[in-house]
Amino acid sequence: MTARSRADLASASRIVVKVGSSSISGESSWRIPIIVEALAAAHARGAEVVLVSSGAIATGIPFLRLDARPTDLATQQAAAAVGQNILVYRYQESLRPFDIVAGQVLLTTGDLENPTSRSNARRAMERLLGLRILPIVNENDTVATQEIRFGDNDRLAAFVAQLIEADALVLLSDIESLYTRPPSDPSAVPIDVVAPDADLSGLEFGSTVVNSVGTGGAATKVSAARLAAASGIGVLVTSADLVDKALAGAEIGTWFEPALS
């Protein structure tokens, strides 16, 4: 049943959680076991959980002995190929104590726009969830050149939530909630709830480039959240450090109310 409020996350049957590169790569890789523990708790109560995780390129960079995110497409693709392997290994090692097996699913937005590919992806995801596998989804960076250059996995997460008809989508960020202006602005005010028909045109959301390892930011999260909410999926945007509270239904973050038919 669709999560109509934050509190419903504690009992939601099917949840998609998205985490960005800056939260789990490089010096932030220590956060992976914390995120996994929260996912495992939801899994233990019977929920079907899908993790959409960025971070392949950022994770691969040090293994290619690079000092920074590469600017040429071929090296970005190479970093993604190496990093995806390492990233899923780290997740699986953290899942092992909970006796949960991860399943890697690499998609492009094009896969979800093509009816045949979309049907195949849905069938595979449904089977994985039925087998109590925890799917870890990422953009297929070795072929999705548009994502590497311009996009972000927030939108992919919204598409995945629509694909499997999730009850809720949780977009994990570096800050606890969205603000009316960039958080560094003294006049910024946290946003508590966004109604389906809310006019956000007067608000200022940050740049799409947030750091040297990932792409994204508040603007992409708002866009993805509204996309999912318009499909009847409740969306919470909050900090990766609060993932356990988020999945427990705590009153945190910014909640996008689902449009109800």
Query: Is 82 exposed, middle or buried (CB count within 10 Å of its CB: 0-12, 13-18, 19+)?
Result: middle
Query: Is 146 exposed, middle or buried (CB count within 10 Å of its CB: 0-12, 13-18, 19+)?
Result: exposed
- Angle made by CA atoms 91, 94, 29, in degrees to the nearest 5: 65
The radius of gyration of the chain from alpha carbons, rounded to an integer in Å, stands at: 17
Number of other CB atoms surrounding residue 71 within 10 Å: 7
- Angle made by CA atoms 72, 78, 79, in degrees to the nearest 5: 90
152 is known to lie in a ligand binding site: no
Q: Pairing relation of β-strands 254-256 and 234-239?
A: antiparallel
23 is known to lie in a ligand binding site: no
Number of other CB atoms surrounding residue 116 within 10 Å: 8
Say how far apart CA 39 and CA 33 lie, in whole Å: 10
221 is known to lie in a ligand binding site: no
Q: Which residues of 194-204 are buried (b: 16+ CB within 10 A; e: fewer)?
A: beeeeeeeebe
21 is known to lie in a ligand binding site: no
174 is known to lie in a ligand binding site: yes
173 is known to lie in a ligand binding site: yes
Is residue 136 a contact partner of residue 26, using CB atoms and an 8 Å limit? no
Say how far apart CA 77 and CA 98 lie, in whole Å: 32
Is residue 254 a contact partner of residue 193, using CB atoms and an 8 Å limit? yes
Annotated binding site: 18, 54, 141, 153, 173-174
Annotated binding site for substrate: 54, 141, 153
Annotated binding site for ATP: 18, 173-174
